């Protein structure tokens, strides 16, 4: 499987719509962002919803509060902090798990933070 790298803007909603070839009836989807594959703790968990099983469409989202909580080291918008992510499907009857997406997750720092006010 090839990698599909994504960019998340901290403090903004993120949405990715994935279309699969097969019918997704009887499947669930899940996905995490981590510093590395060896980490036990996730940086963030995607909300993965199979929108229409028969048309094989999955929405993969993070809300603005979740993306704002992702740690980043950059001081300007173009200094990304890079993590890893993947998205998996699980067939509920058999428990068989398949990875459908994977890659780098680059996080761009949030510049306009509601709590930051300068006199």
Residue 76 gets which letter from DSSP?
S
Residue 67 to residue 10: CA distance in whole angstroms: 5
Return the CATH fold of 6-108: Immunoglobulin-like (2.60.40)
- Residue 1's pLDDT band (cuts 50, 70, 90): low
Helix/strand/coil for 85 = strand
pLDDT in tens, 8-56: 999 999 999 998 888 899 999 999 999 999 999 999 999 999 998 778 8
pTM: 0.88
pLDDT in tens, 55-99: 889 999 999 999 999 999 988 989 999 999 999 999 999 999 999
pLDDT at 117 over 60: no
Q: How far is CA 69 from CA 2, 72, 95, 107, in A?
A: 28, 9, 32, 11
């Amino acid at each position: 499987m090839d990698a599909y790298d994504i960019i998340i803007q901290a403090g903004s909603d993120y949405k990715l719509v994935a279309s699969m070839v097969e019918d997704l009836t009887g499947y669930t989807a899940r996905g995490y962002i981590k510093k590395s594959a060896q980490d036990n703790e996730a940086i963030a968990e995607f909300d993965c919803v199979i929108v229409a099983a028969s048309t094989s469409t999955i929405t993969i989202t993070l809300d603005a509060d979740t993306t704002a909580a992702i740690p980043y080291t950059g001081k300007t918008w173009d200094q990304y902090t890079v993590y890893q992510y993947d998205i998996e499907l699980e067939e509920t009857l058999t428990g068989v798990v398949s990875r459908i997406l994977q890659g780098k997750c680059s996080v761009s720092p949030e510049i306009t933070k509601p709590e930051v006010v300068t006199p």
